């Protein structure tokens, strides 16, 4: 059971804001109670870190700076293995608070046992070193004795040994010539090996360029296919959006839609995948389409892909409680209807906070 009481987030800005929290584990949900003091008025995301994966669990607003309390329920299976929680300002993207879930246990008994063990190991090491030193001294004395005997024997050799050495020198010269040729062969082989290694690096660099070109081709192909396959959804349906946006009706039964892929969280996925089949059943008879897809332009280039699911702020229709990235609500001109939007960076494929 995961139950945490009155833990404090670390304030990374060193200002007067403070945050404490409780986590209570229920059957299917984690209930998080945030106790907030002097937190500036803004919108914040609660982000759970699981290894290399990030999960935006919820978004909350502050309407006053002093003594605020928020209770948030999160699906337990989404975050039960988390090792860190971050509180992020949505508008600036700045991490204001964090909490590490991993703590090292302080067990004095095992610390003492470890120290005793280290002492015993140290004693054993000292004894081994002493034995090795004694053996080295013995070997050194024997070596000196052998060298003296050898010098005495060499001194007693007659002059004929000089002739033998001369013959040996000639043999060594012949061997040197033979091995010189061998060395040349070895050097040539090493040079060839080095050329092969350089070719491997060149090939890897070429592969990287090919991967980048594939990504560019996917992005360019998307923009062509999207315009050809999907039907336009008029921007006039929205109350507040400007001409930097362009939207389409996402018809899941359109056969040609299977030809369109996007880069999503680092993988090439079918364009329908991020919807995960979510629809608001009580809005299925609405005059607006259940799903829309959009582009956001900056300097005449597509910067974000946008996924939209029909919903309403009144009926708690936010897809997956915002956990998969549908965290922005845009009203339409039709009273009570709007779209929950998720933004994906075209260049990285990552879900973005604007």
Measured CA to CA, the distance from residue 106 to residue 100 in angstroms comes to 17
Q: 165 Cβ partners below 8 Å, 6+ apart?
A: none
Q: 103 Cβ partners below 8 Å, 6+ apart?
A: none
Q: Tokens standing for 74?
A: 């999160």
DSSP string, 185-221: HHHHHHHHHHHHHHHHHHHHHHHHHHHHHHHHHHHHH
Can you give the pLDDT at residue 109?
40
* H/E element, 344: strand 338-345
Region 143-161: mean pLDDT is 62
Q: How does pLDDT run across 308-354, given as a tens digit for each residue?
A: 999 988 767 899 888 889 999 999 998 889 999 999 998 888 998 88
Nearest-CA neighbor of 34 among 49, 22, 47?
22
Number of H helices, E strands in the chain: 3, 18
Q: Tokens standing for 33?
A: 């109670």
State the pLDDT confidence band at 138, using cuts at 50, 70 and 90: low
Report for 97-101, 156-160, 165-169, 200-204: range of highest mean pLDDT: 97-101
What integer best gives the mean pLDDT of the chain?
76
Q: How does pLDDT run across 211-238, given as a tens digit for each residue?
A: 555 555 666 667 778 888 899 999 999 9
Measured CA to CA, the distance from residue 223 to residue 283 in angstroms comes to 30
Whether the Cβ atoms of residue 307 and residue 273 lie closer than 8 Å to each other: no
Can you give the pLDDT at residue 238?
94
Which is more confidently placed, 60 or 64?
A: 60
Q: How does pLDDT run across 103-127, given as a tens digit for each residue?
A: 433 334 434 444 555 445 455 555 5
Q: How many CB atoms lie within 10 A of CB 5?
A: 10
Which is more confidently placed, 209 or 76?
A: 76
Whether the Cβ atoms of residue 43 and residue 59 lie closer than 8 Å to each other: yes
State the pLDDT confidence band at 181, using cuts at 50, 70 and 90: low
Q: How many CB atoms lie within 10 A of CB 351?
A: 19
Prediction pTM value: 0.42
Q: 82 Cβ partners below 8 Å, 6+ apart?
A: 48, 49, 50, 55, 101
Measured CA to CA, the distance from residue 246 to residue 305 in angstroms comes to 10
Q: How many CB atoms lie within 10 A of CB 220?
A: 11
Give the CA angle between residues 285, 288, 293 to the nearest 5°.
125
Whether the Cβ atoms of residue 101 and residue 48 lie closer than 8 Å to each other: no
Region 177-200: mean pLDDT is 55
Can you give the pLDDT at residue 141?
63
- Is it the case that residue 49 has pLDDT exceeding 90? no
Can you give the pLDDT at residue 250?
93
Which residue bears the tokens 């956990």?
Answer: 323
Can you give the pLDDT at residue 139?
63
What is the b/e burial string over 281-306, where b = at least 16 CB atoms within 10 angstroms of the residue's CB?
eebeeeebbbbbbbbbeeeeebebbb
Q: 50 Cβ partners below 8 Å, 6+ apart?
A: 79, 81, 82, 83
Whether the Cβ atoms of residue 272 and residue 260 lie closer than 8 Å to each other: no
- Determine which of 173-182, 261-270, 331-340 has the lowest per-residue pLDDT on average: 173-182
Measured CA to CA, the distance from residue 199 to residue 311 in angstroms comes to 56
Whether the Cβ atoms of residue 248 and residue 260 lie closer than 8 Å to each other: no
Which residue bears the tokens 């302080």?
Answer: 106
Can you give the pLDDT at residue 105?
35
Residue 333, phi-psi category: left (phi > 0), alpha (psi -120 to 50), beta (remainder) = alpha
Can you give the pLDDT at residue 208?
56
């Amino acid at each position: 059971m995961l139950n945490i009481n009155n833990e404090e987030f670390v304030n990374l800005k060193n200002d007067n804001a403070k945050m404490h929290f409780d986590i209570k584990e229920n059957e299917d949900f984690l209930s998080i109670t945030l106790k907030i003091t002097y937190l500036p008025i803004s919108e914040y995301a609660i982000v759970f870190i699981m290894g290399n994966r990030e999960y935006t669990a919820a978004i909350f607003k502050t309407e006053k700076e002093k003594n605020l309390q928020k209770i948030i329920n999160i699906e337990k299976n989404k975050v039960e293995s988390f090792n860190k929680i971050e509180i992020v300002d949505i508008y600036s993207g700045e991490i204001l608070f964090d909490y590490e879930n991993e703590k090292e246990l302080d067990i004095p008994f095992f610390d003492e046992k470890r120290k005793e063990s280290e002492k015993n190991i140290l004693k054993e090491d000292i004894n081994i070193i002493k034995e090795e030193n004694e053996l080295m001294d013995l070997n050194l004395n024997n070596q000196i004795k052998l060298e003296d005997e050898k010098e005495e024997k060499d001194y007693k050799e007659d002059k004929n040994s000089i002739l033998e050495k001369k013959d040996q020198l000639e043999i060594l010269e012949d061997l040197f010539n033979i091995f010189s040729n061998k060395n040349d062969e070895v050097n040539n082989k090493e040079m060839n090996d080095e050329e092969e290694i350089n070719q491997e690096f060149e090939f890897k660099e070429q592969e990287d360029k090919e991967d980048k070109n594939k990504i560019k081709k996917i992005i360019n192909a998307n923009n062509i296919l999207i315009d050809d396959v999907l039907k336009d959804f008029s921007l006039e349906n929205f109350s507040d959006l400007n001409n930097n946006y362009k939207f389409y009706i996402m018809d899941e039964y359109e056969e040609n839609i299977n030809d369109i892929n996007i880069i999503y969280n680092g993988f090439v996925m079918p364009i329908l995948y991020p919807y995960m089949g979510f629809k608001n059943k009580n809005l299925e008879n609405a005059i607006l389409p259940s799903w829309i897809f959009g582009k956001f332009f900056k300097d005449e280039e597509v910067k974000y892909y946008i996924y939209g699911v029909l919903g309403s702020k009144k009926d708690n229709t936010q897809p997956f409680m915002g956990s998969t990235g549908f965290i922005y609500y845009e009203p339409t001109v039709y009273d009570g209807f709007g779209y929950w939007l998720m933004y994906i960076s075209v260049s990285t494929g990552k879900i973005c906070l604007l």
